[in-house]
Amino acid sequence: MSGKLRLTLAQLNPTVGDLAGNIAKAQKAHAEAAAASADMVVFPEMFVTGYQTQDLVMREAFTLDAMAHVRKLAEACATGPAIGIGGPLLEDGNLYNAYFILQGGKIVATMRKHELPNTHVFDELRLFDSGHISGPYNLNGIRIGTPICEDAWHDQVSETMVESGAELLIVPNGSPYYRGKFERRINHMVARVIENDVPLVYLNLVGGQDDQIFDGGSFVLNRGGQLAVQMPLFDEAIVHVDFSRTADGGWAAEHGEKIAHVDEWEQDYRVMLQGLRDYLAKTGFKKVLLGLSGGIDSAIVATIAVDALGAENVRCVMLPSEFTSQSSLDDAAEVAENLGCQYDTIPITQGRDAVTETLAPLFEGLEPDITEENIQSRLRGLLLMALSNKFGSMLLTTGNKSEVAVGYATIYGDMAGGYNPIKDLYKMRVFESCRWRNVNHRDWMKGPKGEVIPQRIIDKPPSAELRPDQKDSDSLPPYEELDAILDMLVDQDFSVAEIVKRGYDRATVKRVEHLVYISEYKRFQSAPGPRLTHRAFWLDRRYPIANRWRDEG
C-alpha cells in the first residue's frame, strides 16, 4: 500500500452542450496530469455537459450522447492517471447527476448525487432522481468518498462515506457566485472536515453560463480544517496536490500556493466582466454595441464591455434629442474617447417627429405624457437593433437593478438587447463600482488604466432626459432610500411592516412594493445579466406576472 497520492485539480470552464469541446479540455488536463505523474485528475460537477443544463438534460438523446462521451474519454485515456468527472446518468428509467471514475479504459465507479438542491437558481428535484449514498472507491490504496456539491452541504452524506471507510473526501462542484458565497462554502466544508476527521478537496467550476458565473476558488483542507491549498477565483487553473499518509494512518495534503481573495467590489466587477465575456463566447457573438447616453449606467456598461472584449469590439452610439444636454453629449464622447472604442452619433429628432406626425390624428386633443417620452426610448431601441442586425453585434442594455426592480425602463426601448451586465447591481453600487474602476486596473481587463469614467458623470443627478429638466428623483425616491427599501423588500423578503419599523415611510414603502409587482411583466421579457446576489431577478425570484396581492401588514 502506497503512502503517497498525487491529485491534479482541474478548475476549468466548460460550455453547456459542447460535449466534444469539454471532453477535449478533459483530455488536455489528463495529459498534463500524466506529465506530472499524478495518480488521478479530477474535474468539477457535470463537467462533461457544462452546468447548469436546465431542461436540456431531460432530453434523452442529449444525456445518452453525454454518457457516450464519458465512455470515449475513458477509452482515450486508458493509460495514465485515473479520472474523476461529472456528467448525467440515465439508468433504469432514472436520471442522475453523477460522477464517474475512469481507469484502465473503463468506468470503474459511479457516484449518484443524493441531496438535490431546490432553492435559489437550482431546481434539481425537477430534473434528477436522488441516488443512494455511495460508498468509497479505492485509488492506489486510498479510499476516497465523493459527495457531489450539495451532498457536502449536509452532514449525512459525508458521514456515511467516512463511516464506510473513506479516508479523503473529494467534492466536485458547480457552485455559482453570489456576494459572500465563498465564506459560506468554506464554513460548510470546514464543518465536514471537523466532523469526520479527514482531509477534503473542494473543486469548483469557473466561467459564465447565462446569468450564473462560477467563480472557482477551489481549495484543499487538512484535518482540523487547516487550509493547505487555495486556488484562484474566476481563472482556469490546474494544480497538483500531494498527499501523504500520516503517522496515525490518516492522510494530509502538502501545503501549496494559497491565493488571497480580493474584496467584494473587485469580485462583483469581475463577475460582470466574465459574465459578458463568456456569454458572447458561448453564444457565438464577437462584438457588442450600446447606447451611450452620457449617464453613469451606460458609462459603466461601456467600460465593462471594453474590459471584457477589447475596445475594437465595442461600439458606442449617442442618440440625442432636443432634451439631451450639452454636458451629456460631452460626457458620452469623453467616455468613448477614454475607452478607445468606436463612437457614433445618430440624432432621433427627425424620426421622432415622423412618428409623432403619424400618430397625430389618433392623439388629437390629448395632452403629451409618458407616451411621447417612451416613443423616444423605443426609437432609440429600434435604431440600435438595426445596427445590431446589420453588423452582427449584440446590443447591450444598461438598466441597473434599482430600475429593473421598479420598472423605470421602457419595454421595447432601452430594455431592448441581448445582455445586461449590471442587471443585478443596485444604483448606489453602480456609483461605487465606477469609483472602484477608476482607481483600479487588473491584468484581466482589456481596457485602459486610469479614470475612464469622468467624475462629473458620477456626481451629476441621474436623468433619462426624455423631457425638459427631468431627473430620476422626479419619479422615484432618492436612490439611497430606494435601494435600501429594495434590498429589504426583494433581497431579504422583509414585510412592509418590518421595513417601516426600520424607519421608512409606509407610503413610500407601499409605493415601491407596488412598482415592483406591476413591473414583473417587464422583467419577464428583459435580457439576462450576471447574478451578483442571492436574490437576482430570474431564477432566484419567480413571481407571477398577474398578481393582485399586496402586503397590507
Residue with grid cell 470503474, as numbered in its chain = 108
Residue 518 scores a pLDDT above 90: yes
Residue 133 scores a pLDDT above 80: yes
- Kindly state the average pLDDT of the residues 295-313: 97
Q: Looking at residue 465, what is its pLDDT? A: 66
Q: Is 459 exposed, middle or buried (0-12, 13-18, 19+ CB in 10 A)?
A: exposed
Residue 533 scores a pLDDT above 70: yes
Residue with grid cell 449518484, as numbered in its chain = 112
Mean pLDDT over each residue of the chain, to the nearest integer: 95
- Kindly state the average pLDDT of the residues 425-439: 97
Residue 183 scores a pLDDT above 70: yes
Domains of the chain: residue spans and CATH: 4-260 (3.60.110.10), 268-472 (3.40.50.620)
What percent of the chain is predicted at pLDDT more than 70?
A: 99
Q: Looking at residue 468, what is its pLDDT? A: 78
Helices 349-363 and 370-391: crossing angle in degrees, nearest 10, is 130
Q: Looking at residue 461, what is its pLDDT? A: 84
- Which band of pLDDT confidence, cut at 50, 70 and 90, is reported for residue 412? very high
- Kindly state the average pLDDT of the residues 324-345: 95
Q: ∠ CA 343-348-349 to the nearest 5 degrees?
A: 140
- Kindly state the average pLDDT of the residues 191-216: 97
What percent of the chain is predicted at pLDDT more than 90?
A: 93
Residue 1 scores a pLDDT above 60: no
Q: Looking at residue 473, what is its pLDDT? A: 74
Cell of 119: 432553492
Q: Looking at residue 319, what is its pLDDT? A: 96
Residue 495 scores a pLDDT above 60: yes
End-to-end CA distance of the chain: 67
The residue from 25, 45, 334, 427 that is catalytic is 45
- Kindly state the average pLDDT of the residues 341-354: 96
Q: Is 341 known to be catalytic?
A: no
The residue from 25, 77, 124, 149 that is catalytic is 149
- Kindly state the average pLDDT of the residues 318-343: 94
Q: Looking at residue 463, what is its pLDDT? A: 73
Residue 324 scores a pLDDT above 90: no
Q: Is 113 known to be catalytic?
A: yes
- Which band of pLDDT confidence, cut at 50, 70 and 90, is reported for residue 332? very high
Query: Cβ atoms within 10 A of the Cβ of 548, count?
Result: 6
Which 8-state DSSP code applies to residue 142? E
Distance CA 301, CA 211 (A): 16
Q: Which range, of 36-40, 313-317, 368-372, 461-465, averages the lowest pLDDT?
A: 461-465
The residue from 25, 113, 287, 427 that is catalytic is 113
- Kindly state the average pLDDT of the residues 198-224: 97
- Kindly state the average pLDDT of the residues 151-163: 96
Residue 180 scores a pLDDT above 60: yes
Instruction: Please write down the long-range contacts of 192-196, taking CB distance under 8 Å and 24 or more positions apart.
Output: 192/147, 192/152, 192/155, 192/158, 193/169, 193/221, 193/222, 193/223, 193/224, 193/225, 194/224, 194/225, 195/155, 195/158, 195/159, 196/158, 196/159, 196/162, 196/169
Distance CA 41, CA 341 (A): 42
520 neighbors 165 (Cβ within 8 angstroms): no
Q: Is 423 known to be catalytic?
A: no
